[in-house]
Chain A
Amino acid sequence: MKNEMTNKEYNEYIKTKTPNSKIFSNCAKAFLVGGIICVIGQCIIWLYEKWGLDKESAATCTSITLIFFGALLTGLDIYPKIAKFAGAGTIVPITGFANSVVSPALEAKTEGMVLGVGAKIFTIAGPVILYGIFASAIAGTVYWIVSLF
């Protein structure tokens, strides 16, 4: 190349050539779909409460229910279609967590139940689980220290 650009210049140049994601409309779609999932969750809580569960049990059962439907819709290949529209709106709620566990598991079936599904099921959710537990351990320790005084 005669007109040799430095790597830095080239990377600056390609930024001008690469379209950005549509942040505003993506945020709006994420808010809409994420909000709808939360509304559905709230309705399920009320339903469980109506069926006689206390508030805490109703919330737990709602999480389980949403995880079930997240997994089911992933298996039926519907969840990724909603996610294509919703983006973060389907990743952030607990249904997105179900999707991130079920999708690698489905794909790893071809390598068997142990080295396939067993080893690869948490390839996406792994960091969330690890650092989630780690963060809660730190928070618990801080809470314990504070509660000493």
Chain B
Amino acid sequence: MNTRIGRQTVKIENPPVILDAAAIVGVKEGQGPLRDSFDKILTDDTLGEKSWEKSESTLQRQTALLALEKAHLKQNEIDYILAGDLLNQCVGAHYSVRDLDIPFLGLYGACSTMTESMSIAGMLIGGGGAQRVMCLTSSHFCSSERQFRNPLEYGGQRTPSAQWTVTGAGCAVLGAKGDGPKITHVTTGKVIDKGVTDISNMGAAMAPAAIDTLSAHFNETGMKPSDYDMILTGDLGVIGSDILTELMLKEGFDIRRNHRDCGKLIFDIEKQDVHAGGSGCGCCGSVFCGYIFKELKRHNLKKILVMATGALMNPMVVEQGESIPAIAHAVTIEN
């Protein structure tokens, strides 16, 4: 059974195990500092498909199948697959799971989808509703640029605060029994909107949601930042991370020592010219399922908090004058 220990936090009494995880990334991500930690690096970001949307769903499907293979499981042994991405109507996920024979729940949490799916999967398994659940998410630079910004060949300059959408996917397979790191706590975020309207400054739009969820997590669990080997955020990037650590300090929590951000880890910010860092569902997805999961398996990390943040942004509504709501979901993972 799960125990609700606060307004936003659930302690999972029978914590589910992350049985295995797979990460596949694009060409540029494969040139970054984490290149050795991914299961596969694409040599062609189209994946042989005719449209970027199809490329993304193929990327997602390949990652799901790879995760199953690594966990030595068959599709009929999985009770649910929880998947989502950034595209309208979650087409990346819907067309990737179309070919799978697994009950599906679609999620949209923008870039927070990885931890949103692990939160729900954790509670599903902890509550006895499932034995094994797959958590899957992806993003693709080219399909995201198309939907949220400009055509790829358009000649424009990005602002220094802009982030680079990661081409990548991550899939974690969770089970009620087995060996591996466990999800022990889940803190679900609220939608927070501090009135940021600049769609080129997602880090600043998402940081308040991260602060809100992180503060709630510490207050409700009684844990301190020093209890964690790492506090990993999804894609706050350079600016969002700076805001998070500074404002958390004002809240009374010093996370400067152990805070890391997937958006800063996945690229060499200067050399790869990604301005404020990586972003997208696939950023946390591939960094967690690739690099971080391997570090957990090697016991280099004992206890971590993973908190992916999402800018719940729709370009049309922002053009109508609205600001950007944001969300952050956190999960505690212990070895």
Question: Do A and B interact with each other, yes or no?
Answer: yes
Segment at the interface with A among B30-38, B60-68, B155-163, B261-269: B155-163
Known: A11-B195, A79-B153, A96-B155. A2 touches B242 (CB 8 A): no
Question: Closest Cβ of chain A: how far from B243's Cβ, in Å?
Answer: 6
Alpha-carbon distance A11/B204, docked complex (angstroms): 9
A17 adjacent to B242 (CB under 8 Å): yes
* B7 in the interface (beta carbon within 8 A): no
> Interface size for chain B: under 10, 10 to 19, 20 to 34, or 35 or more residues?
20 to 34
B196 adjacent to A11 (CB under 8 Å): yes
Q: Which of A95-119 contact B (CB under 8 A)?
A: 96, 99-100, 102-104, 106-107, 110
Residues of A contacting B272 with CB < 8 Å? none
A26 adjacent to B157 (CB under 8 Å): yes
B154 adjacent to A99 (CB under 8 Å): yes
Q: Mark B58-85, 1 if CB is under 8 A from A, else 0.
A: 0000000000000000000000000000
Question: Closest Cβ of chain B: how far from A14's Cβ, in Å?
Answer: 4
For residue B238, which residue of chain A has the nearest CB? A19
* B152 in the interface (beta carbon within 8 A): yes
For residue A20, which residue of chain B has the nearest CB? B160
Residues of B contacting A41 with CB < 8 Å? none
Segment at the interface with B among A52-60, A83-91, A129-137: A83-91
Residues of B contacting A96 with CB < 8 Å? 155
Segment at the interface with A among B122-130, B173-181, B244-252: B244-252
A80 adjacent to B154 (CB under 8 Å): yes
For residue A11, which residue of chain B has the nearest CB? B195
Residues of A contacting B242 with CB < 8 Å? 17
A107 adjacent to B194 (CB under 8 Å): no
A87 adjacent to B157 (CB under 8 Å): yes
Residues of B contacting A79 with CB < 8 Å? 153, 155
A19 adjacent to B154 (CB under 8 Å): no
* B150 in the interface (beta carbon within 8 A): yes
A83 adjacent to B252 (CB under 8 Å): no
B211 adjacent to A74 (CB under 8 Å): no
* A82 in the interface (beta carbon within 8 A): yes
Residues of A contacting B153 with CB < 8 Å? 74-75, 77, 79-80, 99, 102-103, 106-107
Task: Report which residue of A2, A19, A90, A107 has the largest number of chain B beta carbons within 10 angstroms of its beta carbon.
Answer: A107
* B2 in the interface (beta carbon within 8 A): no
Known: A11-B196, A20-B160. A100 touches B204 (CB 8 A): no
B159 adjacent to A21 (CB under 8 Å): yes
* B239 in the interface (beta carbon within 8 A): yes
Residues of A contacting B159 with CB < 8 Å? 21
Residues of A contacting B154 with CB < 8 Å? 80, 99-100, 103-104, 124
Residues of A contacting B146 with CB < 8 Å? 107
A91 adjacent to B156 (CB under 8 Å): yes
Alpha-carbon distance A59/B65, docked complex (angstroms): 59
B195 adjacent to A103 (CB under 8 Å): no
Residues of B contacting A3 with CB < 8 Å? 247, 250-251
Alpha-carbon distance A8/B194, docked complex (angstroms): 8
Given contact pairs A18-B161, A19-B161, A96-B155, enumerate 14 new A-B contacts (beta carbons under 8 Å).
Answer: A1-B212, A2-B215, A7-B195, A10-B208, A19-B160, A80-B155, A82-B155, A83-B155, A90-B155, A103-B153, A106-B152, A107-B152, A107-B153, A110-B50
B interface residues with partner A (beta carbon < 8 Å): 50-53, 146, 150-157, 159-161, 194-196, 201, 204, 208, 211-212, 215, 239, 242-243, 247, 250-252, 323
A interface residues with partner B (beta carbon < 8 Å): 1-3, 5, 7-8, 10-11, 13-14, 17-21, 26, 74-75, 77, 79-80, 82-84, 86-87, 90-91, 96, 99-100, 102-104, 106-107, 110, 124
